[in-house]
Amino acid sequence: MKRRIGIITSGGDCPGLNAAIRGVARASYGMFDCEIIGIKDGFKGLIHCNYQVMTPRDFSGILVRGGTILGTSRTPFKKMRKIEEDNIDKVKCMIDNYEKMKLDCLITLGGNGTHKNANLLREEGLNVIALPKTIDNDIWGTDVTFGFHSAVDIATEVIDRIHTTADSHDRVMLVELMGHKAGWLTLHAGVAGGADVIIIPEIPYSIDKVIESLDRRHSSGKNFSILAVSEGAISVEESKLKKKELKKEREKMKFPSVSYRLAKEINGALGLETRVTIPGHQQRGGSPSPYDRILATKLGAYAAEMIANRDYGKTVSVVNNKLWATPLKEVAGKLKLVEKDNLLISTGKLVGASFGN
């Protein structure tokens, strides 16, 4: 009997989503008789039964394409069971629509929020397989997520380009990078781009230490400096606050983001001219790198093998360079943050980068 496979992409997009969709589809078509149902715009599509029956042709030419052919949206996990003004019981609608679409299983491609939603649907009895995508690389249980390496390439190129202009103008340039609460992207791009100071959320920074390291560098004759700063960076003082207190403090902050505050403090202390660059969503845009195309294809094809074996309730992971299926209940709700003893931190320090601590 024809198997009906639903595919959904949810949360922030990233390069490699289409490559993974193609991986699932092509490997499934090759292994068993199936029909693929593309659910539109994330969980919103499952809630509102917005879908499209796909054909093999829909998966042609998408390997190199950025974004997601299915569209995406954010449906926060904490709101899933909440009945809002529209009076819709989202969880019930998703279960009903899964039945209505006659799905045998649902493949969810997403980050942390998506994994929580996928686990919720698993708990409700649906057959779910998740794939780990995010430029943040912060999904627990997998060494790497697809989208991450493409973002590292983009962020590194930004730092490279900033180098020449920083040098020409004798400036201190701060490059603020995405990553939410995790510093993976900043750490990798910072080391790859030779940033002089790398500030990540996992290592709260001391402004005095940042200033000290810049002062040392400029006193030794260097005419410019580059700081790679995570959007989620926090100071030592802020790290002592409770989540709610920090939110309040940040609301009071007069600067658009943490890099602007740092830039002002550096300028005030050292008199050096500072500038901030925020590449923002460019880090999620464009074609996936060859690394991500390969990774996403491997993960997608592995998911198809799991469908063939009816091995549900799991997320496809990379562990020590091998593909693995980790139970969704273990992954959902946990963040993979940069460990204090990460080799790239010690390597960065050995080659002269300051981590502001």
Residues 71-90 touching ligand F6P, rule: CB under 6 A, are: 74
Total residues interacting with ligand F6P, rule: CB under 6 A: 11
The amino acid at 347:
T
**For ligand F6P, which stretch binds (CB under 6 A), given 55-63, 159-167, 177-185, 326-334?**
177-185
**142 annotated as ligand-binding:** no
Spell out the alpha helix ranges (H) of 32-179: 43-47, 77-80, 90-100, 112-123, 148-169
Nearest distance from C-beta of residue 157 to ligand F6P, angstroms:
17
Spell out the alpha helix ranges (H) of 181-222: 184-192, 207-219
Residues 225-254 touching ligand F6P, rule: CB under 6 A, are: 231
CA distance 111 to 337: 14
**135 annotated as ligand-binding:** yes
CA distance 129 to 106: 6
Nearer to ligand F6P, 68 or 354 (CB): 68
Position 10 contacts ligand F6P (CB under 6 A) = no
Q: Which three-class secondary structure state does DSSP give residue 108?
A: strand
Q: Is 136 a catalytic residue?
A: yes
**81 annotated as ligand-binding:** no
CA distance 353 to 102: 55
**178 annotated as ligand-binding:** yes
CA dihedral 261, 262, 267, 272 (to 10 degrees): -140
Position 180 contacts ligand F6P (CB under 6 A) = yes
Nearest distance from C-beta of residue 231 to ligand F6P, angstroms:
6
Nearest distance from C-beta of residue 51 to ligand F6P, angstroms:
23
Q: Which of 136, 138, 196, 292 is catalytic?
A: 136
**Residue choice 130, 178, 307, 345 for contact with ligand F6P (CB under 6 A):** 178
Residue 149 · residue 291 · CB < 8 Å: yes
Query: Which residues, including other chains, have CB under 8 Å from residue 320's CB and lie 6 or more apart?
Result: 143
**For ligand F6P, which stretch binds (CB under 6 A), given 27-35, 129-137, 259-267, 298-306?**
129-137
**Residue choice 111, 183, 288, 356 for contact with ligand F6P (CB under 6 A):** 111
Other CB atoms within 10 A of residue 114 CB = 30
The amino acid at 200:
I
Extended beta strands in 214-262, E state: 225-230
DSSP annotation of 58:
G
**Applying CB under 6 A, which residues contact ligand F6P?**
12, 74, 111, 134-136, 178-180, 231, 284
Q: Cite the active site residues.
A: 136
Annotated binding site for Mg(2+): 112
Annotated binding site: 12, 74-75, 111-114, 134-136, 171, 178-180, 231, 275, 281-284
